[in-house]
A and B are shown apart, each in its own frame.
Chain A
Amino acid sequence: MGFKIYTMAEMAASNEEPEVLFWVGCAGSFDARAQKVTAAFSKVLHHAGIKFAILGNEESCTGDPARRAGNEFVFQMSALQNIEVLNMYNVKKIVTACPHCFNTLQNEYPALGGNYEVLHHTQLIQQLIEEGRLTIEGGGFQGQKITYHDSCYLGRVNDEYEAPRSILEKIDSGLVEMDRAKQRGLCCGAGGAQMFKEDEPGDKRINIERVDEALATGASTIAVNCPFCLTMMSDGVKAKEKQEDVMVLDISEMIVQSNKW
């Protein structure tokens, strides 16, 4: 069941402050599939009793794809505007379900004057479980094989391999690692603004290479932590005509399924 999600503007108007700002990101706001992850993570926050808010229409792209394409002007425009808004609301703590937003907010905004405590949603979920504010019922995925795809910007770039895995353990699934996992995890093909252009000529698409590896584990669910990996892996599964047998899910969606929320 849905519920009202407050914006920072609304909270400020009633003199309230959220515990955490949920940074939704472009994919989470506009991409139909990623919107489901946004909804799922909102439910997780709601059920854990977290008072959170979004920026809503005051949020802009963090600028990550522009910066990595080489367009520093567009990056700076978007980033400085966001920092203006974040600082205006005196934001201290941010959580996001997108590892690219997470990386840029945490590692690149400080040089521009934006200093916040930034968490990836899997990190916050892990904390909530540890603090006893969130319980995962388990059972939803019992007896199923699951494989986990490390996103580059949560894993290799920011060294977070354990938080998502510890959640998957709680979900009571049989985690089967791909050969290229953790530091050696293979990119889904979307990063570095590849998401927004055609591939350069080659033998194979990167997402197909990765999906082949995921399918080889025999897993019926491919767990991801990034909306762009979600698109890439889902496209790959469809290209392999396995969409009937294999699900690609964000970890927060798996929690919602497990807990039947």
Chain B
Amino acid sequence: MSFSQIAFILLMVLSIYFAVKQFSFIIRNIKLGKAETISGDETTRWKNVILVALGQKKMFKRVIPAVLHAFIYVAFLFTQIEVIEIVIDGLFGVHRFFAPYLGILYTMIIGSIEILSVLAFIGTVAFLVRRNIIKVPRLHKPEMSGWPTADANIILGLEILLLIGIFTMNGADVMLQKMDPVHYPSTGFLPVSSIMGPIFLEGFGKNMLVFLERSGWWLHFLVVLGFLYYIPRSKHLHIFFAFPNVYFSPARSRGEMENMPAIMNEVKSMMGLTPEAEAPDMDAELPEFGAKDVFDLSWKSIMDAYTCTECGRCTSVCPANITGKKLSPRKVLMDIRDRVDEVGRNIDSGSGKYLSESDRKAGVALTADNYDDGKNLFDYITREELHACTTCNACVEACPVMIDPLKPIMDLRRYEILTESAGPSDWLPMFTSIENSGAVWQIPDEREKWAKDFAETD
């Protein structure tokens, strides 16, 4: 076994180890959320996976970024074939393993990947320009300053490196095929490398070409491993999570807020609508309602947060955000992710710091159930943001991967009103009025007075 094979295997095992570790961390974090059964029939949800996730249907509401994104997306999917070959070559110390077996089909596959890679290059450069030079407004909201923007540029930079790797590798290979056909099986005519290779590499010695070919190959491979390590730590996780996230998006009416059976039954019993025997125990302490931290959110909302790639389509259509209010649906998702990451790390630390004083004294072990760091989601998402939402569903409609930013906003509002008895004081008269007189306004007239007046008009 050669040194490069050993290095290859070692690097691969290491990055897979770190990726698996990070993915387990994320999946455990998603499970910190409340259990919730996903409603809606399976057929609709699979249809969404095909149309929305695989088919990018919602992306095409904005054609230019959709086309640029499609270049990168399709190139990414196809390049996986090449990655499989790289893994085989790397493990067994062979070169272009598929070439002799696939013949013309190989030429077609690698040729297509080359064309797609050129398109992906155009897409990546255009995205860098949109983000850093044209400065598309939705990519420059306050929540994007610092790390989120760096994160985006790192990914785009890695993509450029990957493409440089592919073309260096193929270009040098095409030249080597002429010099040493025994070791370099023919790939057939490649639309980019067979033309660009001779232009750039004509007259290079064999050793130099071998060095270039190997450098390109290793660069390609190292960037793939880099992605494997980096993506689950970055906003770029959507490339994996878009699919399950769309599948798990409930296929029910957008107009229905999740019912709260505990409150419904309580009210029914107050109104005497439940038979005596079934009435809930009125003396029992009511649980906390709504969400104050990630533990109270649906697991799907946490998955939403990990799926978000911070494109900001939601924020750019939010009426509150458009008119200068603090609310940004994207920020709500980013905050949930930051908070659940923090909670997850702290739980993993096992430190007694994150126990309540009484638990610490009792010497119990730290778990998700007794976690208490004195903070919650309201330390991330301000009430001002929550109060600005008009529930217009524009954010829900806009998201290309079916994230529902409205649900956590409503869950937090519910906590504020039901558990804390807080919230905007302007709402109190409306609540009291509905409770006392069945109307949103306190008006002395009878509800049907208009009808009597109407009967008398001429």
Contacts and interface: CB of A to CB of B under 8 A. Distances in A.
Interface of A: 1-5, 7, 24, 26-31, 35, 38-39, 42, 54, 56-57, 59-61, 63, 65-74, 76-78, 80-81, 84, 103-104, 106-108, 111-112, 152-153, 156-158, 183-184, 186-187, 189-206, 208-210
Interface string B434-458: 1100111101011111110111111
28 contacts: A3-B454, A26-B441, A29-B439, A30-B445, A30-B447, A30-B450, A35-B450, A42-B454, A56-B451, A57-B446, A65-B434, A65-B440, A67-B257, A70-B413, A70-B414, A71-B431, A72-B418, A78-B438, A80-B268, A81-B271, A153-B255, A157-B255, A184-B61, A186-B319, A197-B387, A202-B326, A203-B324, A208-B323
B450 to A, nearest CB: 5
A69 B413 contact: yes
A31 B304 CA distance: 40
A162 B327 CA distance: 31
A198 B426 contact: yes
Contacts of B397: 156, 183-184
Interface string B389-418: 111111001000000000000100111111
A54 B454 CA distance: 13
B414 to A, nearest CB: 4
A152 B392 contact: yes
Contacts of B427: 69, 71, 193, 196-197
A109 to B, nearest CB: 10
A60 B317 contact: no
Interface in B164-192: none
B394 A156 contact: yes
Given A54-B451, A108-B257, A187-B392, A199 B325 contact: yes
B202 interface: no
B408 to A, nearest CB: 12
A73 B423 CA distance: 15
A103 B446 CA distance: 25
A103 B255 contact: yes
B457 A1 contact: yes
B388 interface: yes
A108 B267 contact: no
B458 A54 contact: no
B439 A26 contact: yes
- Identify the 3 closest CB pairs spanning chains A and B, nearest first: A203-B324, A60-B438, A70-B413
A24 B451 CA distance: 10
A201 B259 contact: no
A2 B417 contact: no
Contacts of B288: none
A64 to B, nearest CB: 9
Contacts of B322: 186, 206, 209
Contact of A209 (B290, B319, B426, B449): B319
A159 to B, nearest CB: 9
A71 B429 CA distance: 13
